[in-house]
Amino acid sequence: MNIEKIFIEDKITGRKIIELNSISIPKNSIIGIKSISFEDVILFFSAIAGIMDLYPDFNFDIKIDDSYSEILYFPEYPYTQISGLTSTIYGEVALPLVERCINETDIKRKVKKFLSLYELEKFKHRNPYNLSTGELQKLILCSQDICEPEIWLLIYPLSGLDKKNKAKIKQLLTNRKKNRIIFIFDQNIEDEEFVDLILNLKDGTLNNTKSHYKKEKNFEVLSDYLHIKKIRQNKNSELLIKLQNINFSYDERKLLLKNLSLDIKEGEVILITGPNGCGKTTLAKIIAGILKPKNGKFYKNEKTDVIYIPPDPTNLFLKTKVKDEIEFMLDWRKEREKYNNYNLDNLLNIFYLKDDIDKYIYELSIEKKKYLSIVEAILLEKNLIILDEPTSFSTEKFREVLISHIKDGLLSDKSLVIISHDIHLIWELSKQGCK
């Protein structure tokens, strides 16, 4: 791919977003995209994919020598990519071929080949909505790869995955890069050894200098089973939640959680790690009162006010616009006096939402929705916040902001339960604890 020119600017402010000139990207390569702005990456990928009409507020000046018949565009959040037109994985993978009027014999042959390639054959009759995060990532890649695209545009393909599933996706991408160009935007992508080149959108450079992440891993919190660790304890504070010898199962034949006990006190920070499918989110939903344990004792202090923030918090919001959602929360808690215009503006500024106040919530990236959910938790004065994969599908900047507020910012006085596979987040919170 020869990029002669990609120039993108904001029509309203005249701000230059991206300027790339005379960049040659070789085939058979995986290109990591480095950018502090998720929105800039979306605009760049839109320029490559030729879907600039979706962004009328920006000027695009694009000159790319090569043209491509098939482009794979992996979304920010994979659940949004399930078609909903079929009830099985087999149907989901076959659908793109059906839409292209491929004959039935060739469809069966090709679907079998790609299900085997992506290790999905044993799940072929399962409903896509019942997959784990790792399985879903593979399904979305498989259902688009079956059309054999020449260009892949991947947003957060490694996000929310445990070590095992992340390694599988990396190996798949390495195996599939022949005669292709694979662009990847994900956290700390420049640290990944499977990436061949780094394209920096800020300065418009392409290079192969990669600094590999070599910090000592804390194996205690990166174990291959459900692991609970208190990284900030407050032994003399009031008890908020107590679980005693609880069991839980979705399938009567196998317990997912067995004889699990946990105390959560005011001001404590609890880190939950483990592989995909080991029960982390299930435990979080039990703590939040969304699920009930099959047996065992569950105690909740009447003072406990809990909010569960999932990886994609879209369904938390009750209004369509950011402004209306915040107004609703203020009215609900009658916090008008406490949060006057200055205090509210300051809060929105801290969490990078001030410029989004008049937007519809569906227009926000998942990262911005995560910021908005944290603002809501603060406005509603929740004293127990459950953050499920808080840094998944978000930039490194979001992680930095979150860590700073957990350690000594607006979340430092809250009780927090954090579920994560993010080694950088785990390391930063664990190495010195949260003061």
Tell me the C-alpha to C-alpha distance, in Å, between residue 26 and each of 23, 59, 193, 304: 10, 27, 18, 56
Distance CA 125, CA 137 (A): 17
Q: What is the per-residue pLDDT for 285?
A: 94
Secondary structure element (H or E) that encloses residue 422, with its range: none
For the sheet containing 306-309, what is the strand order?
Answer: 227-232, 269-273, 415-419, 384-388, 306-309
Report pLDDT for 299: 94
Provide the pLDDT for residue 220: 43
| Residue 82, both tokens | 């399930």
All structural domains of the chain: 2-207 (3.40.50.300), 227-431 (3.40.50.300)
- Summarize pLDDT for 250-299 with one digit per residue, the tens: 877 788 889 999 999 999 999 998 888 788 989 999 999 999 999 999 99
Q: What is the pLDDT of residue 214?
A: 45
CB 350 within 8 A of CB 410: yes
Contact 310, 388 (CB under 8 A): yes
Looking at the chain, how many residues does it have? Answer: 435
* Residue segments in the chain with a per-residue pLDDT below the cut of 70: 78-79, 209-224, 333-342, 432-435
Return the pLDDT at 222.
52
Joined together, the tokens standing for residue 283 give: 């435990």
Measured distance CA(288)–CA(134) in Å, rounded: 24
pLDDT for the residue numbered 217:
47
Spatial distance between the Cα atoms of 392 and 386, rounded to a whole number of angstroms: 14
Closest C-alpha among 8, 7, 24, 18 to residue 66 = 24
Query: Are the CB atoms for 69 and 150 separated by under 8 Å?
Result: yes
**Distance separating alpha carbons of residues 152 and 172, to the nearest angstrom:** 13
8 Å CB contact between 225 and 274: yes
Alpha-carbon distance of 267 to 372, in angstroms, equals 22
Digit-coded pLDDT (tens) for 158-197: 888 888 888 888 998 999 999 899 999 998 888 888 999 9
For tokens 């879209």, name the residue. Answer: 314
CA dist 235 and 254 (Å) reads 34
